[in-house]
Amino acid sequence: MTIGTTWVHMFYRHREAFASNFPVDESTWLSLGTLNFEVAPEAVRQYRICDEAKHQALLKSSLADVRLHKELCAGLFRDLGYGKYAELDINDRAEIAWDMNVPIPEHYHSQFDLIYDGGTLEHIFNPFQGVTNVLRMTKVGGKIAHSQGIGDQINHGYWTFNPSFLVDFYQANGCVVRKLFVIDVDGTEFPIDHTIPMIPLGRGTAGYVGPAAVLLSSMQLLRHYLLAVPNEKPSFWRRKAVDLLVRWFGPRVMQYPNFSLIAVFEKQKAVEKIAAPFQSIYAADSVLAKPD
C-alpha cells in the first residue's frame, strides 16, 4: 500500500481528526499492511515531514528499500503526534505478523493510539473479525482510520464497503464518528452525513459523491474502454473520441476512476462483548427493536 501526495494533503487538512490524543512519546500509529512512501518533493517541503536528503535518497533508490520507506512514514506520523510507527501484515517486513481473519492475541489489546487501514480490510475474507481485531487493539481515547476504495475496483479485493458497515459497527461498539467523506484520487472531497441512514432511492453513487463526479468517472471509464482494445491498436475514430473527451473534461479524464471512503472514529469506551449491529436503515422496523 501507498502513502501518496493526495493522502498527505488530506491528513493535514483534517489534522485534528488524525492527531494523537496522547503524549507523542507514548503513542503509536499502527498500519494494517506495510506502507510505501510515495510523496511528491513539493509536499515534503511544504509540511517539512522528513529530511529532504533522505527523501531524495528514496527517489533514487529501489522501491524495495524498506528502511527508507518506514523511516519516512514514521517522520510523517510523528508530525501528527505519534512517536512510534509499526506495521501489521503477513510479510516479514512488519513488526506484527498476523492473519486478521483470526482473533488477535490479548497482549495486543488496547496497545495502539491510532490504527490506520489504508486498504487492507477489503482483502480480509472475514471483515467482521478484521474490524473486531482493530477495535480490540485500539486504546480507549485512541482513533481508528479506514481508507477503503469504493470506485471501479472490481476484483481488487473481496469486498467493497458501504459507509454504514463501518459507521454501524463502530457506533455499536463504543466509538464516535470524527470524519466521514469520500475522496477522489486528485483530492476532491465529498462529505457524507452519517446521521442520514440511507440516501434517496435511485441516486446511487451520485448521492455520495455528486453528479459531476459521477459524470467524470463515467467518462474516465469510457476513455479506458476506448483505448483498451485487446491485441490491436485503437482505431482512428476511437483515438478521436478520446481526444474529444480530454478536450471536454480536461486532464482528469486521463485518470482511472478512483474514489475512496475515509472514515475516522474515536474509541470512547471499552467493550467487553463485541456487538454485531443491526443495519441502521432497518432498525426502526425491526422486531428486535420492539418490546414484546
Euclidean distance between CA atoms 27 and 85, whole angstroms: 9
Question: Which residue do the cell numbers 475522496 mark?
Answer: 183
pLDDT for position 29:
97
In sequence order, which residues have a C-beta less than 8 Å from that of residue 277 and are 6 or more positions away?
A: 168, 169, 171, 172
pLDDT for position 253:
85
End-to-end CA distance of the chain: 49
How far CA 251 is from CA of 17, 68, 198, 220, 243, in Å, comes to 31, 32, 33, 10, 11
pLDDT for position 216:
83
Euclidean distance between CA atoms 288 and 278, whole angstroms: 9
pLDDT for position 110:
96
CB burial readout 132-166, b (16+ within 10 A) else e: bbbbbbbbeebbbbbbbbbbbbeeebeebbbbbbb
**Consecutive 10-residue averages of pLDDT for the chain (292 residues):** 91 96 94 91 88 79 75 91 95 92 97 96 95 97 93 77 90 95 86 70 66 83 82 84 91 82 95 86 62 54
Considering the four listed CATH numbers 1.10.3720.10, 3.20.20.140, 3.40.50.150, 3.30.470.20, the one that applies to the domain covering 2-185+258-277 is 3.40.50.150
What are the sequence ranges of the domains in the chain? 2-185+258-277, 199-256
pTM: 0.87
Q: Rounded to 5 degrees, what angle do the CA atoms 173, 178, 181 make? A: 110
State the number of CA atoms in the 13 A half-sphere of 226 facing the CB. 21
Instruction: Read off the DSSP letter of residue 178.
Output: E
Cα 203 to its chain centre, rounded Å, is 23
In sequence order, which residues have a C-beta less than 8 Å from that of residue 183 and are 6 or more positions away?
A: 6, 10, 189, 190, 259, 260, 262
Instruction: Read off the DSSP letter of residue 7.
Output: H
Q: Residues 213, 184: contact at Cβ < 8 Å? A: yes
Any long-range contacts for 280-289 (C-beta under 8 Å, 24+ apart)?
Answer: 280/164, 280/167, 280/168, 280/197, 281/164, 281/197, 281/198
| Among candidate residues 118, 87, 78, 125, the one with its CA nearest the CA of residue 261 | 118
Tell me which amino acid residue 270 is. Answer: A
pLDDT for position 198:
57
In sequence order, which residues have a C-beta less than 8 Å from that of residue 233 and are 6 or more positions away?
A: none
Tell me which amino acid residue 25 is. Answer: D
Euclidean distance between CA atoms 73 and 94, whole angstroms: 13
In sequence order, which residues have a C-beta less than 8 Å from that of residue 207 and are 6 or more positions away?
A: 199, 200
Question: Which residue do the cell numbers 506495510 mark?
Answer: 34
**H or E element that contains 86:** strand 84-89
